[in-house]
Structure 1
Amino acid sequence: MPLPHASVGFSDALVVLGSAGIVIPTFARFRINPVIGFILVGVLVGPHGLGSFVGSAPWLFHLTITEPDSIEPFAEFGIILLLFSIGLELSFRRLWSMRRQVFGLGAGELILSGLVIGLGLNLIGQPPAGAFGLGFALALSSTALVLPMVGTSSPVGRSAFAMLLFEDLALVPIIFALGALAPFAAQEGWDGLFTTVWQGALVVAALMVAGRYLLPPLFAQAARTKSPELFLSASLLVVILASIATAAVGLSPIVGALLAGLLLAETPYHGEIEAITAPFKGLALGVFLITVGMSVDLRAIAADWGELIVAIVGVMAVKIAITSVILRVSGERTEVAAETGLLMASPSETTLIVLAAAMHAQLIQPSTAAFWQTVTAIGLTATPLLARIGRDVARRVERQAATAAPVEETADAARAVIFGFGRVGRLVAEMMRVHGRPFVAVDASIDAVAAARAEGFPVLFGDVGRPGTMDRLGLDRASALVLTMDDPVQLVRLTRAARQAYPDLAIIARARDSDHAAELYRAGATDAVPETLESSLQLSEAVLVDLGVAMGPVIASIHDKRAEFREQIMRDGQLTREPRLRRTRMSG
């Protein structure tokens, strides 16, 4: 006797929630991206995995998802919430500042990748219309997977976001173009595209006007009630209505979700909204990844593994090469271009939508669509691995570049040298930059070096503890040496070695406590600043005063930085009360 529909729904919900409860903590414990876990769960419990044995083993019904179509709406909702959260992290000003990247990098990457892949498919026998339809489908990359891995603030994240945003905007024209190329469509596809464009423009304009004048009072009222439930309901209502509005005129619902996030990012409530919707986004995104895994048929992969490997490698190689070259031509660093290229190499969840549209338009055969759907599912599964490879490649390239960079080229007669570029070293560098004092920093962490270089700091990769490193840094021409590492023994040793080698060099060192400061003075330090709440500010002051900057500007800049720290501490909520800020040293 068939099981009641309600029982099927409850069973599928139990599998999804149970998977989330197991996958996330298990993979987090082993520091593995949970994306892989959700996809593997989908493969295991889907209709091509254990679900195929339900007929012979009915008890498996409670451990598998027997109706994949029933959870697809939740997967789509996860992608919508993802784009909504991305919008919350942005602003219209930042989006406008990225217009050249979106319509330059994004357009170049998608068009070139689509044309090259389409040409390759045409050369192996696919008819032109179907070949280029497949080409643009496979040129798309996964917004749902890429952005949660890299965010939108890092150099890689900014480049990836620009290209992904253009792809999301181009999805509608691609689908309509496929309709126009269909044998039975004639000119109807292009007419539909024009209709969608002007109607979509009107809807977007209406949403922007309504959001500007209606959202602030709506959320102000929700905030006054101090009801988290009402606040959450208002947030979900806004994103759902915006998505429905854009979908109603033929645009993708994710466009409406992104626009809703941008509108709410301009209000004072965006932080609370982001926090309160985060659990729903994570769970819904996990459901989406499970649906991706359920589309993987291990038997089909085993039967066509040779062709699948060639297809996957070919598509990824084209996208890696084109993305990396475009980024390098646009001026990005080699390591950023390489990491972004690998990250964007896999097809996208929207590839499945374009494949369905191409098959409906009779541009490709159902068997061809099924083959490339498998390629897409495998590619999505490999995205976290590609991201890890991309990070490793970027670090290796950065390390080689940093090691090969001739330190002497950065030498300056009035330059200060900073050992260590962590929290303290970064603040010292910022204060040096404020007062226009040249400096160079050295750090043994390639990640810290890469992040600092991305922000424009002159930081070199190197281990200052190795013999000969100080000689190569040209300390005989430096005006000061600043030691900021959190290693008391190494600080004393470096101070003693620097004083012996350079008797006239000003050496300013970070000290852990007063006893350590006394030891550093005995080793030859010019200034030793104990690590207190204001140790970073004291160290910056000591460096600038020893370099001859007037006390007035120094005090003013220290005061500004102190105010900035106070605001940051209060904003982050790391302290429950305002810290007692007190100057412990005055020079000059």
Structure 2
Amino acid sequence: MTEYFLQAFIYLSAAVIAVPLANRLGLGSVLGYLIAGVVIGPIVGLVGSETNTIQHFAEFGVVMMLFLVGLELEPKMLWAMRNRLLGQGGLQVAGSVVAVMTCAIYAGYQNSVALTMGLIFSLSSTAIVLQTLSEKRLNKTHAGKNAFSVLLFQDIAVIPMLAFIPLLALPELVEKAQSAASHLSEQHEQLSLVASLPGWAYAIVLLLAIGIVVLGGHYLSRPLFRMVAESGAREISTAAALMLVIGIAALMSLVGISPALGTFLAGVVLANSEFKHELEANIGPFKGLLLGLFFITVGAGIDFSVLFASFGEIILITLCVMVIKALVLYFLALIFKIKGSDRWLFTLSLAQAGEFGFVLLSFSVQQHVIPTDIAQTLSIVVALSMFLTPGLFILFDKVIYPRFQVKTNQREQDNIDDEGTVIIAGIGRFGQVVNRFLVSNNIKTVVLDYQVSQVDTIRRINTKAYYGDATRPDLLKTAGIEEASLFVVAIDNRESSVELVKYLHHTYPKLKIVARAFDRGHGHLLKEAGADVVESETHHSALELGVSSMQLLGHTEESVLRRKLTYKRIEKEASKRLYEFWLTESEGEKFSNDFITLFMRYEERLKQAMDEDSVLHQASEEHNTPTSNNSSEHLAEKAKSETCANQ
């Protein structure tokens, strides 16, 4: 027992010392963990043979990370990114496999070994890349989203790779290790539900396992977490979250599926659950700690004796792998029109080998595809490439990104020395009108905008505005978000506005949120994210222009105003129904066939209502019924009052 305490103390001490120092030096936490592992392992020798065992345990941090990633991805969002997932991810894996295999064959490796090397090195480090992108707030950039698509495809591709690798077994290795292979087979059967099943039965078990995860996550998890929440025991809530992740990982392992992929699927299923944020809060600390432990074991597991014995060869292979992957990724960035600094971020962030490379290497040795001595060398190559990845991010931060920054935005964010009842994000043509109306009614506002030229322009007309990114939590706190009553989202970026509304809704539930929508689809996303009121930037002005057009064509003011009210009534009903349909049935597709059918139905209803109004008005005129006069005056007054309110 004492030995376990000492080992735990060593690992934790290394992390506590190295990570803060690395962050202070701008190296990032991942590189800090890796350095800590190298120091306590190969350099000082405080840890040794237990590193591989601990690494298998620490890999569960990757499983937890993918579960949390899945929680952030709603199914319709996953469907929306299918083109990037299959296009970029598929081409990256295929291109990397072919390129690495070609170079390995040229270097003298056997065809089956070269192909296996291609499969191993085609994978990138999900743990390092997502962790680093999240720390640097780059996960929402265009490059970050594309990198995530590639990583997700790679994680899914591990499954067919594991199925394919045994077909590449070398006869001479099989003969040498026949007895060992028999022993491994017996162990495998004890830990697997599908080891001795025929292909058709394995497929059924596989589908059943996935069905259990999907249906159980959707129907059983909610009553379970509701019961746990009602108990009021915080530790039981944490235990339930861990039980869910560990149980799914165990089930996936028993049926031969990647635990990481299984928990990712469960996360996607639970993305719309009301307990989503509770799960994130409970799993987050364990994920961070285990991921850190995983990175430490990678550093501690580097065998310097093998490294020094073949130093030149290992360094050459590592650099070749990273350059080959970078070239493939850069070519993909050109094909998919990833521009500017995003192209380089996409290229550099995925140029390493990944943690699943260790899994495939171990599996390849067990299946007699790669000799042990070659596997040891390749293992160091994987670890070194992961070790060099934080350096690539530093290269991007310090050298590449500054060259692509817009010069007008190269200034520090303003110090906000004011607080208001309302915070307005975005002072463009839309935000200006909102701000002027509120200020003229003696409502104190704090205006934020990330466009330097816009802030400077608005200050020239004596309107107080601050330069700063409204999506930054620290800036929002400085602006008085905790005391504000209302937040107006009027920034000129669709995705950022939705993310901002989502953050505000969950972090400050009592805060009222009003958001500007560019179109109907954007409005649906804002409503779903939690906005209390959503207004289209062109709806009211376009309707008023239509009213003026009809009057210029000779229609009476009374008739036009009456039809305007009819239009607004049906439009309000249609907007509500279309949003409900989009939310529940259209899977997030903006223009699905069913959505268009429903939209056209309301268009027909609108036309019918206008025709009925025309017929009724004509009939009243023919019979000289004055009763419509008072009604018309009432409608006209109502329409005018609504027009004034909207303007």
* TM-score (norm: length of structure 1): 0.68
Give the letter for the 2:19 counterpart: I
TM-fit CA distance, 1:434? 11
Query: Structure 1 pair 394/430, CA: closer, same or farther in 2 (3 Å)?
Result: farther
Q: How is 1:164-203 mapped onto 2 (pairs within 5 angstroms)?
A: 164-183=151-170, 198-203=204-209
Partner of 1:427: 426
Question: What is the CA deviation profile of residues 503-545 of structure 1, one whole-angstrom value per residue up to 9, with x for unaligned ones?
Answer: xxxx531xxxxxxxxxxxxxxx4x212359xxx9xxxxxxxxx
Partner of 2:150: 163
Query: Structure 1 pair 179/560, CA: closer, same or farther in 2 (3 Å)?
Result: closer
SS at match of 2:427: helix
Query: Structure 1 pair 558/294, CA: closer, same or farther in 2 (3 Å)?
Result: closer
More deviation, 112-121/219-228: 219-228
Query: Structure 1 pair 193/427, CA: closer, same or farther in 2 (3 Å)?
Result: farther
Partner of 2:362: 356
Q: How is 1:230-269 mapped onto 2 (pairs within 5 angstroms)?
A: 230-269=236-275
| Aligned partners of 1:325 and 1:337 also within 8 Å | no
SS at match of 2:238: helix
Query: Structure 1 pair 264/567, CA: closer, same or farther in 2 (3 Å)?
Result: closer
Query: Structure 1 pair 218/331, CA: closer, same or farther in 2 (3 Å)?
Result: same
CA distance, structure 1, for counterparts of residue 294 and residue 393 of structure 2: 19
SS at match of 2:109: coil
CA distance, structure 1, for counterparts of residue 149 and residue 295 of structure 2: 23
Query: Structure 1 pair 361/209, CA: closer, same or farther in 2 (3 Å)?
Result: same
Partner of 1:508: 458
CA distance, structure 2, for counterparts of residue 326 and residue 78 of structure 1: 30
Partner of 1:214: 220
More deviation, 333-342/208-217: 333-342
Q: How is 1:295-310 mapped onto 2 (pairs within 5 angstroms)?
A: 295-310=301-316
| Aligned partners of 1:20 and 1:283 also within 8 Å | no
Query: Structure 1 pair 134/196, CA: closer, same or farther in 2 (3 Å)?
Result: farther
Query: Structure 1 pair 558/255, CA: closer, same or farther in 2 (3 Å)?
Result: closer
| Aligned partners of 2:15 and 2:32 also within 8 Å | no
| Aligned partners of 2:71 and 2:270 also within 8 Å | yes
Give the superposed CA RMSD.
3.9
- Work out which of the residue numbers 6, 12, 15 in structure 1 matches 2:10: 15
CA distance, structure 1, for counterparts of residue 120 and residue 428 of structure 2: 46
TM-fit CA distance, 1:107? 0.7
Q: Does 1:148 align with 2:131?
A: yes
Query: Structure 1 pair 434/117, CA: closer, same or farther in 2 (3 Å)?
Result: farther
Query: Structure 1 pair 293/219, CA: closer, same or farther in 2 (3 Å)?
Result: same
Question: What is the CA deviation profile of residues 145-198 of structure 1, one whole-angstrom value per residue up to 9, with x for unaligned ones?
Answer: 10111144321221111111111111121122110121459xx99x98876555
CA distance, structure 2, for counterparts of residue 201 and residue 362 of structure 1: 29
| Aligned partners of 1:129 and 1:181 also within 8 Å | yes
Q: How is 1:527-566 mapped onto 2 (pairs within 5 angstroms)?
A: 527-530=461-464
Q: Does 1:49 align with 2:43?
A: yes
SS at match of 1:484: helix
Q: Does 1:321 align with 2:327?
A: yes
Give the letter for the 2:26 counterpart: R
| Aligned partners of 1:74 and 1:287 also within 8 Å | no
Query: Structure 1 pair 530/72, CA: closer, same or farther in 2 (3 Å)?
Result: closer
| Aligned partners of 1:340 and 1:390 also within 8 Å | no
> Which ranges of structure 2 fall in alignment gaps of 5 or more residues?
175-193, 415-422, 435-448, 471-485, 492-496, 514-644
CA distance, structure 1, for counterparts of residue 300 and residue 413 of structure 2: 44
CA distance, structure 1, for counterparts of residue 95 and residue 410 of structure 2: 44
TM-fit CA distance, 1:314? 0.7
| Aligned partners of 2:426 and 2:489 also within 8 Å | no
Partner of 2:534: none
> Which ranges of structure 1 fall in alignment gaps of 5 or more residues?
1-5, 52-62, 404-416, 436-450, 453-458, 465-481, 486-506, 510-524, 537-556, 580-585
SS at match of 2:101: helix
Question: What is the CA deviation profile of residues 373-401 of structure 1, one whole-angstrom value per residue up to 9, with x for unaligned ones?
Answer: 111111111111112223445525524xx
Q: Does 1:133 align with 2:116?
A: yes
Query: Structure 1 pair 434/123, CA: closer, same or farther in 2 (3 Å)?
Result: farther
More deviation, 346-355/31-40: 31-40
TM-fit CA distance, 1:64? 3.2
TM-fit CA distance, 1:209? 0.9
| Aligned partners of 1:335 and 1:394 also within 8 Å | yes
Partner of 2:346: 340
Partner of 1:373: 379
- Work out which of the residue numbers 569, 572, 575 in structure 1 matches 2:507: 572
Give the letter for the 2:507 counterpart: D
Identity %: 26
| Aligned partners of 1:419 and 1:425 also within 8 Å | no
Query: Structure 1 pair 568/251, CA: closer, same or farther in 2 (3 Å)?
Result: closer
CA distance, structure 2, for counterparts of residue 309 and residue 418 of structure 1: 40
TM-fit CA distance, 1:228? 1.6
| Aligned partners of 2:101 and 2:114 also within 8 Å | yes
Q: Does 1:118 align with 2:118?
A: no
Partner of 1:229: 235
CA distance, structure 2, for counterparts of residue 353 and residue 150 of structure 1: 24
| Aligned partners of 1:334 and 1:397 also within 8 Å | no
More deviation, 132-141/301-310: 301-310
Query: Structure 1 pair 529/95, CA: closer, same or farther in 2 (3 Å)?
Result: same
SS at match of 2:274: coil
TM-fit CA distance, 1:418? 11
CA distance, structure 2, for counterparts of residue 560 and residue 17 of structure 1: 43
Partner of 1:97: 80
CA distance, structure 1, for counterparts of residue 154 and residue 501 of structure 2: 41
Partner of 2:297: 291
TM-fit CA distance, 1:296? 0.9
More deviation, 195-204/297-306: 195-204
- Work out which of the residue numbers 455, 466, 471 in structure 2 matches 1:484: 455
TM-fit CA distance, 1:360? 2.6
TM-fit CA distance, 1:29? 3.1
SS at match of 1:172: helix
Work out the number of aligned pairs and report it. 446
CA distance, structure 2, for counterparts of residue 173 and residue 287 of structure 1: 28
| Aligned partners of 2:33 and 2:295 also within 8 Å | yes
Q: Does 1:87 align with 2:70?
A: yes
Give the letter for the 1:127 counterpart: Q
CA distance, structure 2, for counterparts of residue 561 and residue 288 of structure 1: 42
TM-fit CA distance, 1:264? 2.4
| Aligned partners of 1:130 and 1:358 also within 8 Å | no
TM-fit CA distance, 1:69? 3.7
Q: How is 1:28-39 mapped onto 2 (pairs within 5 angstroms)?
A: 28-39=23-34
SS at match of 2:458: strand
Question: What is the CA deviation profile of residues 50-98 of structure 1, one whole-angstrom value per residue up to 9, with x for unaligned ones?
Answer: 33xxxxxxxxxxx435522442343121111111111122111111111
CA distance, structure 2, for counterparts of residue 286 and residue 567 of structure 1: 29
Question: What is the CA deviation profile of residues 255-290 of structure 1, one whole-angstrom value per residue up to 9, with x for unaligned ones?
Answer: 121122222221112112212222111111111111
SS at match of 1:64: coil
Query: Structure 1 pair 432/135, CA: closer, same or farther in 2 (3 Å)?
Result: same
CA distance, structure 2, for counterparts of residue 176 and residue 391 of structure 1: 39
CA distance, structure 1, for counterparts of residue 25 and residue 511 of structure 2: 36
CA distance, structure 1, for counterparts of residue 200 and residue 65 of structure 2: 28
